[in-house]
Amino acid sequence: MPSSTSIEPLHRNLVGLGREALAAEMGEFGAEPFRARQLWHWIYNRGAADFGVMTSLSKPFRERLSARYELSRPAVSRSLVSTDGTRKWLLRFPDGEEVETVHIPEEDRGTLCVSSQVGCTLTCSFCHTGTQRLVRNLTVEEIVGQVMIARDALGEWPSPQDDRQVTNIVLMGMGEPLYNYDNVAAALKIVMDPEGLSISRRKITLSTSGVVPMIHRCGAELAVNLAVSLHAVRDDIRDRLVPLNRKYPIAELLEACRTYPGSSNARRITFEYAMLKGVNDSPSDARALVRLLAGIPAKVNLIPFNPWPGAPYECSSDAAIKAFSDIVFAAGYSAPVRTPRGRDILAACGQLKSASVKRRRSERVPARTAALALDDPRPVD
């Protein structure tokens, strides 16, 4: 597995190894195959963070394992809880890079919003993450580690439990998951394994800004739900909002959605649409959206624009959002307006980045920038 650091750790981390990789590692270690299966269960189902608790393994074997391996998660450098119960963890990796993971509790479920990259190479003009300079792919262990941190913090081991607080996963945190496909796929296989983290593919949604060549593969290999960040109905506007549109314009993107494996009326593709005042929020935009979606099993998620410091857009008015939603709804599509969650801790869609970068700057650069970092980061609603 690619390591994110240049310094080799003393102990190899077993968290992040898939079934085959763990079996191969144990084979090299001289352990019998059933030991790999027992370890798998302890790591991903019971959440063991220490070999000492693995009582089904003999003491000498546990000691041998501890001498060579570790079971580590990313370090939590900050954890915040919003007034609405949303939690945000700022995670720090050994190379000093950071990402954010957000848990959104609702009455009947709890959704974990997972990051796939540090920052994002795409530069959507309304997204805070897109303004971050530092970018790298997350490793498998860093992606799986986000789910394990949430399970640790919420006391949710062993994995298959009733009344869980993490019932759903959305890849809607920092980064473009289809630009880090291999690691995201390997991590999701661990997350979906019924004897692993045990979250069904039906409860997992991958959101993409429209990396057309990877969409089919995602459906065929992972069969997770797809969400597409559409945000505009005309190429000239989408080019400005989601610059990747210049490479894969709306017609190509929608064609990939039309043929997404496994989509049906029971498993619709979600089209995300951030409501930006005077940019994409008119009734004629809504009517054009309905025409574009014809023939696709679709639902529309209207996201009131979440402001961030220095953002060049404003959120549409409540009346404009309602009118837009009514038009889409009248055409037969579900078009809920997503209630912003965790805005007070900058955990809402598109607000991720601030804490990590501000902290990093305040740590590294004294004086003027450090003073800026002390400003209250909360957006004005």
State the residues that interact with ligand SAH by CB under 6 A.
120, 124, 126-127, 172, 176, 207-209, 229, 272, 274, 303, 305-306, 349-350
# binding residues, ligand SF4 (CB under 6 A): 11
Report, in Å, the least distance between residue 230 CB and ligand SF4: 11
Q: Does 129 contact ligand SF4 by CB under 6 A? A: yes
The dihedral formed by the CA atoms of 308, 314, 315 and 320, expressed in degrees to the nearest 10: 180
Q: Does 177 contact ligand SF4 by CB under 6 A? A: no
DSSP one-letter code for 371: H
Q: Measured from the CB atom, is 197 or 254 closer to ligand SF4?
A: 254
Q: Measured from the CB atom, is 31 or 241 closer to ligand SAH?
A: 241
The item of ligand SF4, ligand SAH, none sharing an interface with residue 45, based on CB under 5 to 8 Å by kind, is: none
Report, in Å, the least distance between residue 254 CB and ligand SF4: 18
Determine how β-strand 136-137 pairs with β-strand 168-171. unpaired
- Token pair listed for 152: 């640790």
Q: Which of 16, 74, 130, 340 forms a contact with ligand SF4 (CB under 6 A)? A: 130
Taking CB under 6 A as the criterion, which residues in 216-275 touch ligand SF4? 229
User: Can you list the alpha helix ranges (DSSP code H) found in the chain?
Assistant: 19-29, 33-40, 59-68, 140-154, 181-192, 212-217, 235-241, 250-258, 283-293, 318-330, 354-364, 367-373
Of 61, 60, 149, the closest CA to residue 102 belongs to 149
CA 38 – CA 24 distance, rounded (Å): 14
CA 38 – CA 27 distance, rounded (Å): 14
Q: Does 14 contact ligand SF4 by CB under 6 A? A: no
- Residue 98 appears among annotated catalytic residues: no
CA 58 – CA 64 distance, rounded (Å): 10
Select the span of 119-127, 160-168, 185-193, 366-374 touching ligand SF4 (CB under 6 A). 119-127
- Residue 107 appears among annotated catalytic residues: no
Q: Does 176 contact ligand SF4 by CB under 6 A? A: yes
Q: Measured from the CB atom, is 121 or 282 closer to ligand SF4?
A: 121
Q: Measured from the CB atom, is 82 or 207 closer to ligand SAH?
A: 207
CA 331 – CA 341 distance, rounded (Å): 28
Q: Which of 97, 100, 142, 272 is catalytic?
A: 100
- Give the residue nearest to ligand SF4 (CB): 130
At residue 377, what are phi and psi to the nearest 5 degrees?
-80, -5
Of 269, 268, 275, the closest CA to residue 324 belongs to 275
Q: Which of 139, 159, 209, 306 forms a contact with ligand SF4 (CB under 6 A)? A: 209
Q: Measured from the CB atom, is 13 or 225 closer to ligand SAH?
A: 225
For residues 252 and 212, the answer to whether their CB atoms sit within 8 Å is yes
Of 229, 235, 233, the closest CA to residue 289 belongs to 233
Q: Does 311 contact ligand SF4 by CB under 6 A? A: no
CA 136 – CA 176 distance, rounded (Å): 11
Report, in Å, the least distance between residue 210 CB and ligand SAH: 8
CA 42 – CA 54 distance, rounded (Å): 7
Select the span of 93-101, 115-123, 149-157, 309-317 touching ligand SF4 (CB under 6 A). 115-123
- Give the residue nearest to ligand SAH (CB): 350
Q: Measured from the CB atom, is 57 or 91 closer to ligand SF4?
A: 91
- Rg of the Cα trace of the chain? 21
Q: Which of 124, 127, 315, 349 is catalytic?
A: 349
The item of ligand SAH, ligand SF4, none sharing an interface with residue 219, based on CB under 5 to 8 Å by kind, is: none
CA 218 – CA 226 distance, rounded (Å): 9
Q: Is the peptide bond before 158 cis (omega within 30 degrees of 0)?
A: yes
Report, in Å, the least distance between residue 130 CB and ligand SF4: 3
DSSP one-letter code for 280: T
Catalytic residue numbers, as ranges? 100, 349
Positions that interact with ligand SF4 (CB under 6 A)? 120, 122-124, 127, 129-130, 175-176, 209, 229
